[in-house]
Amino acid sequence: MSMHQIVGNTVIREESGNFVVQNIGNGVALNVRYRFTALDLVSSQRGDEPSYVLNVQSGQKVQMPEPVAAYCGSYDLIFQFESIEGKTYESVVTFSRQVLTNFEFRQIEVSR
């Protein structure tokens, strides 16, 4: 699929014009934090302060308080969350003009 001259196979999920996050894992995602990091000069005017969704149950879709239209450049959307076992994970979703172009998932070490 191609949209805005960007090639990818998935577009951003939205509801009422806002981003939607869905937990595709087996368990609850606890203490979910996210931030947008600009990848181009056009997008760099926006801050990359973290925001919070709190907890997302397995399979649950949560509407984020972020309007899709405000992010029309290229971004990494970085989620950090904890499992019920206390492990910390990070998901990085890269998108350009509403087309998803990359996805990464990894366990990370966080000092407390």
In this predicted structure, the answer to whether residue 77 has a pLDDT above a threshold of 70 is yes
Judge if pTM exceeds 0.85. Answer: no
Per the CB < 8 A criterion, the answer to whether 24 and 10 are in contact is no
pLDDT, mean of residues 22-26 = 93
Contacts of 67 (CB under 8 A, 6+ apart): 17, 18, 19
Domain range summary for the chain, segments of one domain joined by +? 2-108
State pLDDT tens for residues 39-62. Answer: 987 655 555 678 998 899 999 999
pLDDT, mean of residues 84-96 = 95
The angle subtended at Cα 68 by Cα 46 and Cα 99, nearest 5°, is 100
Per-residue model confidence (pLDDT) at position 55: 95
